[in-house]
Amino acid sequence: MRLVRLDKRFWVIVTCIIVAFTVFVVGRNLLHAIQIRSDIRSLERERDRYRRRIAQDCALLEELRYDDRLERFARERYRMQRRGETVYIVEE
């Protein structure tokens, strides 16, 4: 009779250890999955930001194909001027 009780205790302890180990592993994997999903969302936002920037740059390049627009862009953005020309900058 005494041997049977030890057997039951042994299996209860073994079962508890297995359950604890399983909870530990599953919890760790769950935290890892949450971190990966967060990284994916961050990278998708970054990808969208770069795609918008590429679209803006493509539109700007298309606009700058014409010399008059290129000259205006250089004057406004980089404050360029021709030799002997006086430019007055009025900022609003």
pLDDT digits (tens, 9 = 90+) for 19-48: 999 999 899 999 999 999 999 999 999 999
Helix and strand element counts for the chain (H, E): 2, 0
> Cα(6)–Cα(12) distance, rounded to whole angstroms?
10
- For the whole prediction, is pTM greater than 0.85? no
4: confidence class by pLDDT, cuts 50, 70, 90: low
Residue 68, token pair as written in the block: 């008059």
Cα pseudo-dihedral 52, 57, 63, 67, rounded to 10:
170
